[in-house]
A = this chain, B = another copy of it.
Amino acid sequence: MSDQPTAAVLVIGDEILSGRTQDTNTNYIARMLSTLGIDLKEARVVGDVEDEIVAALNALRTRYTYVFTTGGIGPTHDDITADAVAKAFGVGIDYHPEVLAMLGARYKPGEFNDMRKRMARIPLGAELVRNSASIAPGIHIGNVYVMAGVPAIMRAMMEDIMPTLRHGQLVHTATVEARIAEGRIAEGLMKIQQDFPALSLGSYPYYREDGFGVQLVARGRDAADVETAARAIEAMVKDLGAEPIRMNS
């Protein structure tokens, strides 16, 4: 498994930590990476504080194949991600001539002010992440991809980035739902886990207006093993007198 590419997400922004904004970017990136067989191993959220961004970025980039950051690359004073990234990599940062030209062409005369020019500040040696949603690019340096926080722009940047990433072996998933208490399937599930040590079996109880139940998820890189484990889960649920329902997953 050690040749499987891994990843971390670093969400940057006071608005996430204050509770003002619900982060959805991590979930989107997780789902996109899973389509490439890349394992998201960790996610962090830090505020708009340079030292915090630098420390988190250095902890993550030395540990995982890829790091994806979101947030802090706009024109305002609280957009400090590009500078923090340069600092983390120990490189300078300057106005990128091509980005200056692209942005300059977008604005009417007199509207390309100094703050907007901040979006052209790119760490030295970095590449641009072009995208269909904004003229201002994301940044690619080393194994780090720096993206916008606005979900629509982040998604456009992921579109640009994904074809360049190294693929891993896909993870296959099977989900069995049953109207049964988690505590009743726990022993059987553990035994199936022991039979399939290479799989990850998860148990996710739910409590809804129409009753409670559990979703049992088998995940792994061997599709046949996943299917065999899912059938074992179905048989176990039936043995306990409940009706297993295979979900699309």
Contacts and interface: CB of A to CB of B under 8 A. Distances in A.
A19 interface: yes
B43 A44 contact: yes
B40 A46 contact: no
A187 to B, nearest CB: 5
B113 A217 contact: no
A14 B45 contact: no
> Copy number in this complex?
2
A30 B200 CA distance: 30
Interface residues of A, number: 66
B43 A47 contact: no
A114 interface: yes
Contacts of A207: 150, 152
A74 B216 CA distance: 13
A232 interface: no
Could you tell me the dominant secondary structure of chain A's interface residues?
Answer: mixed
Nearest to A200: B14
A16 B122 CA distance: 32
B14 A202 contact: yes
Interface in A82-130: 107, 111, 113-116, 118
Given A45-B43, A200-B14, A75 B183 contact: yes
A29 B111 CA distance: 41
10 contacts: A15-B202, A15-B204, A15-B217, A18-B34, A20-B249, A42-B45, A43-B45, A44-B44, A77-B186, A77-B201
